[in-house]
Each structure stands twice: as C-alpha cells, then as structure tokens.
Amino acid sequence: MSLRFGTDGIRADARDVLTAPVVAALGRAGAEVLGADGLVVGRDTRESGPSLAAALHAGVQAAGGGSVDLGVVPTPAVALWCAQENVAGAVVSASHNPWHDNGIKFFAAGGRKLSDDVQDRIQVRFDQLLVSGDTPVQAQGDDRHAAAVIRHVDNVVGSLQGRSLEGLRVVADAANGAASTVAASVFEQLGADVTVIHADPNGRNINDDCGSTHPATLQAVVRETGADLGVAFDGDADRLVAVDGAGEIVDGDQIIAICALDRQQRGTLAGDAVVVTVMTNLGFRRSMADAGIRVIDTKVGDRYVLEALAAGGYSLGGEQSGHVIFHEIASTGDGVLSAVQLLDVVVRTGRTLGDLAESAMTRLPQVLRNVRVADRPDDVDTALAPFVEAATARMADRGRVLIRPSGTEPLIRVMVEAETDEEAQQEADALVAAVESLFS
C-alpha cells in the first residue's frame, strides 16, 4: 500500500500498514522539511498511539532535532503549543476512524496546517526514507503533558473573557478520546453543570458508538436527564456536533450559522464573511445571503478553510462535519472551544439551542452516499460531468450536486441536496449507479 497525504495527513491501519518504522521515517521527513529545531508530538487514546509517538520522536531525533512529548491531548492543544512556542508539531491520531487505524498530521511552526507544497516536500523525502529504512524506531521526548493540558484549558476558558456558562446543564461526550483530558475541567471552570460521558478510554473504545460520529447515546442522555443540551467531540477533539434539549442534532453548518449571525450582530464578524467548504448545505448559503453575510467556498478539508481565513483576514469558518474555526482565538479547529463559543451564545441570548438552530437556517434535505472503489481515481470530475450536469438541470435552482473522491479512503462521495427527500434520494440513486458503472 502506498501511503500518501490526504486531506488531513496520512492515515492507515496501524496493525500492519502504519507501523513504527513507517512512522519513524515520516517523523524524520517532517522534521527535515519543517525545521524549527524539532517537533512537539501529541496523540489521542488509540492502542497504537504510544509506540507510534515513540517512533515519531525517534525520527525527529534522527533528523538532528529535539522533541517534546505532550502525551494524550486534543489536536488543538498541539497547535496551540506550536503557536506559542513557534515550533512545528505532529499529532498521532486517525480522528473519527476506528481504534485500529491511526495517522500522522503535521503543524508548521506557529500552529498552522501545512500547505500543499510543504506537504508534497515531506512526501518526497518520506518516500526516500522508506526505501533506505535506516531510521531508529523508538525514542522519548521531553514530557510536557501537564503543561499542554493547562495551556489548552486556559485558552478555551479565557476565550469567554470572564463570562461564564453558569446555569447551563450540559452533557459532554468525550468519545473515549483526547477530550477526556480536558472537557470536564473546561466546563466546570466556566460554571456549567456538566455530565461527561465516554471519558474512560482503554485504547480500543475510541469513537466506538460514541462521539460526534455516533451521537445516539448523547441524544438519549440529554433527553433522559433533562439537560439543556449536549456536545460531542471526535477522537482527537477538533470537531463538534451538538444536541439540543429535545435531543435533536445541531451540525457544523448550524453551529457556524448561529455563531456567524451572533458575531455579525455584535460587530465582530470580520469582513461580514464566513468561510466554508463546498459541502456546506444550501440552506446555510440562503440564510447567510438573507443576512448580508458573504460565503467564501473552499475545497473539502479544514486546512483549506484555514488558508482562506488567513488570506482574507476572516474570523469564522468551518465544515459541516463539525470542524469550526474561530480564527481570532485558535489556529485550527477545536471542538471544546467551539462548544464553549456556542454555549456562550445560548447564555447571552437566553434562547435554547433548538430555537437558535431553527432560526439560524433551514437545512435542505441532503443525501450523502459513499461508493467504494478499487482505488481513488484522478478523473472523477471529467468522467461524471455528463451525469452531474443532467441531475443539476433536472433540479434547476431547487438543489445541488457534489461528487468528489475521498481524501483519506478509496471512496467516491456523492452528495445531493434538493427541496424534498424524495428528489434528493432519486438523484443520488442515479449518480451512485453512474459511479459504480464507471469505477467499481
């Protein structure tokens, strides 16, 4: 299997593909390209995490750099350390994937995601080192775990500038992942009455029927306990999905819409603009247009959102999946920070999350299908253009079609939005059939 960078680093099965020698070579390549005298390394709670982190440290030290070990911390805690210390960093995580997968993603000095050019340079050097196979596979970094947790918690709590979440009853789902190290402390310090669930990681239960990709338990607990709302994070805690008091999902599009409208009303939405990806719901776009907020589109992937935020000097952006970026506060997506910012709107306005979500946007029916293929093809747009054009013509201005290859898996993703579920399903069926006929 050829390991290539996708939309968020490199991911693979850690049992037989993303092994210690592979990660050591990747760590060495990253350190050589990124410089900054070495890397800081954080990880989530996967069983393979300690050995792969040790391999990263070995690779960094083989490149002549020093390494700092932050232990189990959210991805944004690593980015924050990189920003404050002006060093490069790496995170050992496969985000929302199952326990047996793992991955490596890098931050440049200053806590920024990598550009395509820098990523390509690491890829070239990584490929060379994989062939030579002469990188040690185990070393230790300087342990700064406790300091990293404190810094991250302080940054999130401090983002409310003295305001509190007192009076809110919150259920927080830590996904048995990195949020387990910070979630309770953040909400307790801000005065919320918090119940934290799925915060007992054992190496294999990360994202297992829990977290932002499996919110059913959170929905049930919110309903059963009468909590005001719930928040769910993914394995490395850089994304957020919320649940209102009735147990209804509030996704990334709705969270961004709520925060964009709130910031516009308070005069803190830079440029009266928000940055999102092409996957963002048409209902979001209509709502922002009605409010006079510009919508700036990027390719799928939070690093592209970050690039656009930095280039335009904008303050808010994100993805439907729950990566929400408050650019004036953090250099990357932060699920716990996003939850705090969202809950701050609830407290300040005195409105329920359900009410805020309903008034922020009307979500159009959206059908998402993943079609597995033998390998990720390069000619998806050209090959499927006639089918996409036909579907778009049939729906006129009532809907939207997006087809793209996954950045991390051998899948082609088909998305259809329409005025009705029936129409969206019908067009999606036709497009899936076209994909299968051409690529399966």
Catalytic residues: 95
Q: Please write down the HEC assignment for all residues of 176-188.
A: CCHHHHCHHHHHH
Q: What is the DSSP letter of 160?
A: T
Is residue 57 within 8 A of residue 27, CB to CB? The reply is: yes
**b/e per residue 235-261 (b: at least 16 CB within 10 A):** bbbbbbbbbbbebebbbbbbbbbbbbb
Secondary structure (3-state) at 190: coil
**Helix extents (H) in 197-245:** 216-225
The two structure tokens encoding residue 440: 């399966």
Q: Which of 202, 203, 236 is nearest to 91 (CA)?
A: 236
Pairing of strands 400-405, 193-197: unpaired
The two structure tokens encoding residue 35: 């410089």
Q: Radius of gyration of the chain from Cα atoms?
A: 21
Is residue 70 within 8 A of residue 78, CB to CB? The reply is: yes
Pairing of strands 240-243, 229-233: antiparallel
For residue 101, the surrounding DSSP H or E stretch is strand 101-108
For residue 22, the surrounding DSSP H or E stretch is helix 20-34
